[in-house]
């Protein structure tokens, strides 16, 4: 899952037809964990909210950094740049994690991932309420 989807889950603002996500086996990337930690720090979350985040993260799998993810990230970045469509660094890492593990990505942030779907086979899980 992309950080935007997790943020909606954590805020209990996920639209009703997407709540099925909370009952699935879900994974987040190591980058997403960092983005969530950054958001918590920037918002000056207290112990209670940080604990809730940590507890939630313990319920999902975390896709780690490894050599294969690094090579995929490099390939994705180089090819996007050659196409004249450099993508945000963190989104490229998230795509590399999903592609390395052969997992789909649930996101509401289509604009930063559609290129990876079109050129590299990243499977995007999107539904009707997702806005590009």
Q: Output the pLDDT for position 132.
A: 42
Residues 6 or more apart whose CB falls under 8 angstroms from that of 85 comprise: 115
Instruction: List pLDDT tens digits, range 28-77.
Output: 999 999 999 999 999 999 999 999 899 988 888 899 999 999 999 999 99
**Residue 130 in this model has a pLDDT that exceeds 50:** no
Band of pLDDT at residue 127, cut at 50, 70 and 90 = low
The topology (CATH level 3) of 3-125 is: Rossmann fold (3.40.50)
Per domain, the residue ranges of the chain are: 3-125
> Beta partners for 29?
63
> In Å, what is the CA distance from 37 to each residue of 11, 64, 68, 127?
15, 16, 24, 27
Q: Output the pLDDT for position 5.
A: 84
Instruction: List pLDDT tens digits, range 74-119.
Output: 999 999 999 999 999 999 999 999 999 999 999 988 999 999 999 9
């Amino acid at each position: 899952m992309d950080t935007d989807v997790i943020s909606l889950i954590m805020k209990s603002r996920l639209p009703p037809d997407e709540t099925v996500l909370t009952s699935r086996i879900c994974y987040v990337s190591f980058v997403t964990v960092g983005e969530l930690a950054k958001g918590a720090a920037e918002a000056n979350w207290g112990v209670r909210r940080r604990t809730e985040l940590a507890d939630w993260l313990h319920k999902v799998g975390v896709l780690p950094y490894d050599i294969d993810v690094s090579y995929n990230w490099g390939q994705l970045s180089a090819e996007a740049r050659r196409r004249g469509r450099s993508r945000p660094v963190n989104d490229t890492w998230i795509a590399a994690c999903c592609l390395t593990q052969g997992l789909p990505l649930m996101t509401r942030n289509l604009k930063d991932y559609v290129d990876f779907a079109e050129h590299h086979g990243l499977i995007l899980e999107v539904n009707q309420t997702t806005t590009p």
